Amino acid sequence: MSGAAVMDGPLLDFFRAARGAGLRISPAESIDAVRAVEVVGFEEREALRDTLSLVLAKTPAEKRAFAECFERFFRRGSFADDELTPPPAAATPEGSPAGGEGEGGGSALGRMLLANDQAALAAEVEAAAAAVGLVNIAIFTQVNLFTRRMLDRMGLAALEREIAATQDADRANRLRTGRDRLRERVRDFVQQNLLLFAEGKNQEFRERLLTQTRLSAIDRRDHERMRVLVRAMAKRLATQYGRPRKRDRRGVLDVRRTLRRNMGWEAIPFLPVWKQERIDKPKLVVLCDVSGSVAPLAQFLLLFLYSLNEALAGLRAFAFSNSLIEVSEILERLPIEKAIPEVLQRIGFGSSNYGQALADFEAGWLGILDSQTTVIILGDGRGNRNPARSEILRRMAERAKQVVWLNPEPRTLWGTGDSDMPRYAPHCRVTAVCNSLQHLERVISGLLRDGA
């Protein structure tokens, strides 16, 4: 079998299924796999499995995912476990089903069912799947649609006419039984393909949905997936902004470098070089409201920021509800999965008092703020009608580079009820709605891009 024929056949579909199962398969690895299959062929299933595993699966986790995907993929369409039709009531001449009717002894599908030709049926199922584009199945609600399309492609309409026209009750009964069992098997085949080819799509859709969902509405079952997404976002930003960066100062000419670059034109400045300014890694001080209403967002923010260590020059973290404490030591000493519950247990889930929290920070840590520090405050600004103490935030803003306030509530609610946001907002360079991972990534990415 040529490489082109292999790639156009089941192997290409298997690559797609394997990628959906989480395997990272590069084009070069695909070519290597095709060449290996040309040598071992498809006949020996164990040899094929071991060969592809050596080429495609690189880690123990990928080995496990590969084994499951391989078994699921090559198990599709197998009708060997039981017959699709009962055995015929009486022997008939070879190639002629009992009670045959119509041209050629009935419909092609009917002949396969009466003969219980499992190999031919499996081949028909595969051909129908390719014809209707089953590899494009994406959601569970498409199972019935693809099942019907495949059965129609296999000749269900002709089979139905044959059942209605036959005068042999036993033959008609056997055809109906075979039709019903075939329908079940085709549906099973479609569901297996859904698991194979839609797993990656469904996971991608689920992850995209989670990044857009309010963090307070995330189901506990999705917390582990959210942690994975948070770390992935942080790693992506750290890779992008963690290296030293410079920014052109448009309009400020670097005369020395311009002359050097244009020596080939007798120093005539055809190619100007602009002066650059270094973008320093930001220093962050984070104040998180961990009262009951904001705690879900606070834990994800802390996880996000501590996964950004490569891109930050220094991070000091504080948590508050009624009062404020520094939690940097807890987050550095313990794994993040244990540190955040300890922070919440120590000071979380109380009633917010922003004025007292700001007073505690001014008394103990105001001196850590300088012109390179960005202060991020996470909270809804609802102080339960305690004094807002907004003058302390003004003094913090005067010492720091900027104050950024992330509020999980819609702007339409700012200033309503016990919200003190209108008092705090004038002292903030940035105020933003932030109640999802998508919001969080956008804000933090902007801070890192501009050097905070």
Q: Where are the domains of the chain?
A: 3-75, 103-202, 217-241+281-449, 245-277
The confidence score (pLDDT) of residue 294 equals 75
SS3 of 422, please?
helix
Q: Which parts of 277-434 fold into alpha helices (H)? A: 295-306, 328-333, 336-347, 354-365, 390-399, 421-424
The confidence score (pLDDT) of residue 99 equals 37
Q: Under CATH, to which class is 217-241+281-449 assigned?
A: alpha beta
Q: Please give the helix or strand (H or E) that residue 236 lies within, else none.
A: helix 223-241
Q: Which parts of 86-222 fold into alpha helices (H)? A: 108-115, 118-132, 143-154, 156-165, 169-197, 199-212
State the first-to-last Cα distance of the chain, in angstroms, to the nearest integer. Answer: 59
**Residue bearing the bigger pLDDT, 136 or 337:** 136
The confidence score (pLDDT) of residue 420 equals 95
Token look-up 């005369």 returns 255
Residues 6-27 have a mean pLDDT of 73
Reply yes or no on whether the pLDDT at 441 is more than 60.
yes
Reply yes or no on whether the pLDDT at 180 is more than 80.
yes
Do the beta carbons of residue 414 and residue 451 sit within 8 Å? Answer: no
Reply yes or no on whether the pLDDT at 100 is more than 50.
no
Say what percent of the chain tops pLDDT 90: 27
d(CA 197, CA 115): 32
- 344-370 pLDDT tens trace: 788 877 788 999 999 999 999 999 999
The confidence score (pLDDT) of residue 308 equals 64
